[in-house]
Amino acid sequence: MSVLRVIDTGLRPPRWNIAMTAALAELHGAGEIPDTLRFQRFQPCVLAGRNQDIRREVRLDRCRQKGVATARRVTGGGAVYMDAGILSWEIVAGRRRFGADLAEAAEKICTAVADGVAALGVPARFCPPNAIEAEGRKISGASGYFEGATLVYEGTVLVDFDPRDMAEVLRLPDAKEGAALAHRVTSIAAILGRAPAVGEVQRALIASISDCFDLRITSEAPLDRELALAERLHAVEFGTDRFVLGEEPQEISREPSGDAARLPA
């Protein structure tokens, strides 16, 4: 039975979270860390897609007024809103561990996540290419990329989410779009009538991923070298306004993802 390490970096600023993802991918590619499932949560923020003009997609003035931070993902797709009510997960693993290509990895991983959400009493199901739906509305989205021999696949579970928070800070096509979001997204809390504890959701996802892929789970703390590299990458790249605002060419090359615009990734 193969082993999957699980770490939880908790609730953090968004730019640090992005830097930690890049650190895990770099260290995994160098053979310094094992295949890893990481849980994380974001302080209120907007994450722009890798190649977006953040000024065209995000109401930066509204973000400043509301104390909503900004960051830029290493994956493509549209701008998304994140806060503490959204549980984010990511798998950093061998390129072919979960499928021959990104589409197969998406189907297998998202199906496992959907099964975990379903174990909480939510009628969740995988919806190609990279989403999970419940009662006809999106409750999770995902995206990923390959970096050398490493797969990075990440997504969310909307545990307790108010779409009006998203509508306030994104530049949506028209005034009606904000109200329409409520008919396109949902959360575990909206369906169950209660918001389960983050730990409860994490345990359900871990159990499902373990069962689906026949993995032995080991729960560990992040390594010092992972945290140190994340801090360095945050300082020199991902945490800088220069990177987030797109004020210089972005040199890191990653294969494109199938991220879904406008909804939590």
Structure confidence by residue, pLDDT tens digits, 171-196: 987 655 656 777 889 999 999 999 99
Structure confidence at residue 247 (pLDDT): 76
Structure confidence at residue 174 (pLDDT): 61
Give the position of tokens 């994490």. Answer: 202
Among 42-51, 104-113, 240-249, the least confident range? 240-249
What backbone phi and psi angles, to 5 degrees, belong to 2?
A: -75, 160
Tell me, yes or no, whether 148 lies in a domain. Answer: yes
More confident residue, 34 or 259: 34
* Backbone region of residue 135 per phi and psi (left: phi > 0; alpha: psi in -120 to 50; beta: other values): left
Total structural domains in the chain? 1
Tell me, yes or no, whether 254 lies in a domain. Answer: no
Tell me, yes or no, whether 230 lies in a domain. Answer: yes
| Whole-number percent of the chain with pLDDT over 90 | 82
| Whole-number percent of the chain with pLDDT over 70 | 91
Tell me, yes or no, whether 46 lies in a domain. Answer: yes
How do beta strands 2-12 and 36-42 pair? parallel
Tell me, yes or no, whether 153 lies in a domain. Answer: yes
Tell me, yes or no, whether 122 lies in a domain. Answer: yes
Tell me, yes or no, whether 264 lies in a domain. Answer: no
* Alpha carbon distances (Å) from 184 to 62, 94, 134, 235, 261: 23, 34, 10, 37, 13
Supply the range of the domain harboring residue 191. 2-244
- Count Cβ neighbours within 10 Å for each residue of 188-220 and write b for 16 or more, e otherwise: bbbbeeebbebeebbebbbebbbebbebeeeee
CATH of the domain at 51: 3.30.930.10
Tell me, yes or no, whether 107 lies in a domain. Answer: yes
